[in-house]
Structure 1
Amino acid sequence: MSLVTEELKAKAEVYHGDELCQEKSKFLLKEIGLPNGLLPLKDMEECGYVKETGFVWMKQKKSTTHKFEKIGKLVSYAPEVSAHVEHGKIKKLNGVKTKELLLWITLSDIFVDDPPTGKITFKTPAGLFRSFPVSAFEIEEKDGKGKEGKEAAVEVKEV
């Protein structure tokens, strides 16, 4: 059952299409002080944000599983992921599970320590939690200038 109603959409900034939703979700994560690779959703159809309440949602065509290589953890994202966000925190998270041993465990809260110690903590509805380095969830942003600089350096070496 979707938590996103038409009434809620009327109060929200709503975006459609994978490219725009990818850009907006990464921007939101950065804006609230969380790593930009925390929600690696694919084929997003819609995303929205209600500023007054901090409610966000992201809809993708189908559920996806992502492995965070730096920590060796599998995370499953449902077709609809929703939460309430504030600076450094995601609360009331729906649609995200992580695999621990042989079990899929629902995540309910994510937060970065304040002041930042470089740790991000994931909490379950039962109160269990686990912390990891924030760097494990960051994606290096592609910079066209950096690429050009490298190509120029290669040309200098060849000449």
Structure 2
Amino acid sequence: MSLTTDELKAKAEVYYGDEICHLCTQLLLREAGLPNGLLPLKDLIECGYVQETGFVWLKQSNRVDHIFHSLGRLVSYGTEITGYAEKGRIRKVKGIKTRELMLWVPVEEIALDDDPATGKLVCKSIAGITKTFPASAFHIPEKENNVKANCAALKPVVLMERAPRVVKNS
């Protein structure tokens, strides 16, 4: 069952094909300030972005199971991945699961730690499990053909600003 409808696609910038979708994915991660190796997807067939809401989707031909060797973590990326991209995070994520003990746990949010100096990435699940990892574990050195140069033909991604946190004084 697809989470993207024709009505949603009418409001979005939609791209087709592996190469352009990989460029869009890299541009999205760069603009969000997230590590470039966070979404190691293969054979992308479609991607889209609704600038008004920040909704993004990525469709690939098959599910991809990826091991982040430096963390010893297995992550499964479904055929359709959706979420809302903002500066420093992707929230309401669907289509990404991580292996915890003997269970596959859906990832609901991926965000940079509130203290940017720590360089930590926080992954939250629907089940209430929160894991923190070094953001560098998800970084891949870029090739000589810089992503920025390759993405010059694409429209820049304009992400919604992260809402400030309100701290109540008691």
- On whether the aligned pair clears a TM of 0.5, the verdict is yes
TM-score by length of 2: 0.82
Counterpart for residue 105 of structure 1:
105
Deviating 4+ runs (over 2 angstroms): none
Counterpart for residue 65 of structure 1:
65
Count how many residue pairs are aligned between Structure 1 and Structure 2.
Answer: 145
User: Distance between the aligned counterparts of 1:18 and 1:87, measured in 2?
Assistant: 25
One-letter amino acid of the counterpart of residue 101, structure 2? L
Deviations 1:67-126 (A, max 9, x none): 111111010011000001100011110000001122111110110013311100100112
Unaligned 5+ residue runs, structure 1?
146-159
Deviations 1:114-144 (A, max 9, x none): 3311100100112210000000001110116
Aligned-pair Cα RMSD in Å: 1.2
One-letter amino acid of the counterpart of residue 128, structure 1? I
Deviations 1:20-47 (A, max 9, x none): 1011101100101111111111000000
User: Distance between the aligned counterparts of 2:65 and 2:127, measured in 1?
Assistant: 23
2:47/2:58 contact within 8 Å kept: yes
Unaligned 5+ residue runs, structure 2?
147-170
Give secondary structure in 2 for the equivalent of 1:132. strand
User: Distance between the aligned counterparts of 2:91 and 2:145, measured in 1?
Assistant: 35
1:1-159 superposed matches below 5 A = 1-116=1-116, 117-143=118-144
Counterpart for residue 152 of structure 2:
none
One-letter amino acid of the counterpart of residue 121, structure 2? I
TM-score by length of 1: 0.88
Counterpart for residue 151 of structure 2:
none
When Rg is computed on C-alpha atoms for both structures, the one with the higher figure is 1
Stretch deviating more after TM superposition (85-94 or 111-120): 111-120
Higher RCO structure (Cα 8 Å, ≥6 apart)? 2
Identity of aligned residues (%): 56
One-letter amino acid of the counterpart of residue 133, structure 2? F
**Cα gap change, 1:144 to 1:83, in 2 (>3 Å):** closer
